[in-house]
Amino acid sequence: MRYLTAGESHGPQLTTIIEGMPAGMPLVAEDINQELSRRQKGYGRGRRMQIEKDQVQITSGIRHGMTLGSPIALVVENNDWKHWTGIMGPEPLGDLTSDEVKRKISRPRPGHADLNGAIKYGHRDMRNVLERSSARETTVRVAAGAAAKQLLSLLGIRIVAHVVEIGGVKAEKLEFSSLSQLREVTEESPVRCYDPDAAAKMMAAIDDAKKNGDSIGGVVEVIAEGMPAGVGSYVHYDRKLDSKLAAAIVSINAFKGVEFGIGFEAARKPGSQVHDEIAWEEGRGYYRKTNRLGGFEGGMTTGMPIIVRGVMKPIPTLYKPLMSVDIDSKEPFAASIERSDSCAVPAAAVVAENVVAWELASALVEQFYSDRFETLKASIEEQRSSARES
């Protein structure tokens, strides 16, 4: 499977085209809209979320609620486009009006793609860069991930993301009985945190950051249960599934680190406290007594829950802006301010959940026959049965 996204933050719409989804799989707009709505929630979000009420339009690849096997096109319109038609429209403008001059950006913001993108493509107006590099693009990445999540759920694979740290405040109470319980609790939390005491402190930290014109980051965790063992590969570096998940996580805007299982803590422990002992039980097959490696060995799934965490830096758009240099005058200036969030970690957890879902679904489609959904499902069940009996 693969997908391509297109669109700018203040353009008319965002689009994604998905290729490789099996035919005969149930998929309706509500499956996608539910994920789009989750992405827009979260304590610390900015005013843009009050403007946009993201809803998907399915324009190809699905008929009567079932995938056809042909490319699926999904569109999400930008409601704010009506205020930006003269600034972001595709037609030549001729002489710039005073409003367009005001909207021109010659001062790159530290921490953004502005300056590097302008150097790469030769832009003198860095709005050409920031409109595409904006995290608004994750809207349709979530839409693609929602389709993947539907595929996973029909194959008996569940996936949940939650927030484990914001602004240095760490969740301590993380003992849950099931992913259903984790989902139920975190969906009701404004910061998607399972620990209510930590959640209250996280919200206070976000309030402090907003009051100070600052921003804060955090850590999100994605857990997936039900993946069959042996998905991925040890044969080539680019087919290792954990490496694909790592790439997916750090491809999310503002994510700067990733770990599996106990992650970087493994550097501070002896091997006896890092690796997972193997056991076998009739009817269950092979399993690990612990899951310190987060469901992976040798670039392949072990059948244990997949646990991956991503580190999100503070959003670099600050209401007490950092200093920068005007690319036209070369004079120092306070960096320009675009509408932004003081903390987007809770929303980013939803993005992480969906990009992980995409990689897991893509790996299954690549490894098993997948032109037809029912055949894919039967192949995976056969793999699970074989693993239990071997």
Domain of residue 329: give its range.
2-389
Count of domains for the chain: 1
Q: How many CB atoms lie within 10 A of CB 287?
A: 16
pLDDT at site 97? 60
107's tokens: 């001062």
| Contact (CB, 8 A) for 125 and 104 | yes
pLDDT at site 75? 98
174's tokens: 């993380």
* Model pLDDT for residues 321-342, shown as the tens digit of each residue: 788 999 999 999 876 565 567 8
pLDDT at site 321? 72
pLDDT at site 355? 98
pLDDT at site 112? 92
Tally of helices (H runs) and strands (E runs) in the chain: 12, 17
pLDDT at site 48? 55
266's tokens: 């493994």
Which residues in 113-125 are b (16+ Cβ under 10 Å) and which e? bbbebbeeeeeeb
Binding site residue list: 39, 45, 132-134, 253-254, 298, 313-317, 339
Q: Is 359 exposed, middle or buried (0-12, 13-18, 19+ CB in 10 A)?
A: buried
Q: Is 326 exposed, middle or buried (0-12, 13-18, 19+ CB in 10 A)?
A: middle
Residues β-bridged to residue 279: 287
Rg (CA), the chain: 22
Distances (CA, A) of 152 to 9, 159, 227, 357: 29, 8, 9, 7
| Contact (CB, 8 A) for 7 and 140 | yes
Query: CATH number for the domain including 120?
Result: 3.60.150.10
| Contact (CB, 8 A) for 11 and 81 | yes
Is the C-alpha dihedral spanning 188, 25, 220, 232 positive or negative? positive
Binding site residue list for NADP(+): 39, 45
- Spell out the per-residue pLDDT of the chain, length 390, in tens: 999 999 999 999 999 999 999 999 999 999 999 999 999 988 876 665 556 689 999 999 999 999 999 999 999 999 999 989 888 989 887 765 655 555 788 989 899 999 999 999 999 999 999 999 999 999 999 999 999 999 999 999 999 999 999 999 999 999 999 999 999 999 999 999 999 999 999 999 999 998 888 899 999 999 999 999 999 999 999 999 999 999 999 999 999 999 999 999 999 999 999 999 999 999 899 999 999 999 999 999 999 999 999 999 998 877 677 889 999 999 998 765 655 678 999 999 999 999 999 999 999 999 999 999 999 999 999 999 998 887
pLDDT at site 42? 87
DSSP three-state, residue 186: helix
State the amino acid at position 357 in one-letter form. Answer: A
| Contact (CB, 8 A) for 338 and 265 | no
What would the DSSP string read from start to end of 246-294?
HHHHHTSTTEEEEEETTGGGGGGS-GGGTSPPEEEETTTEEEES--TTT
Binding site residue list for FMN: 132-134, 253-254, 298, 313-317, 339
pLDDT at site 127? 94
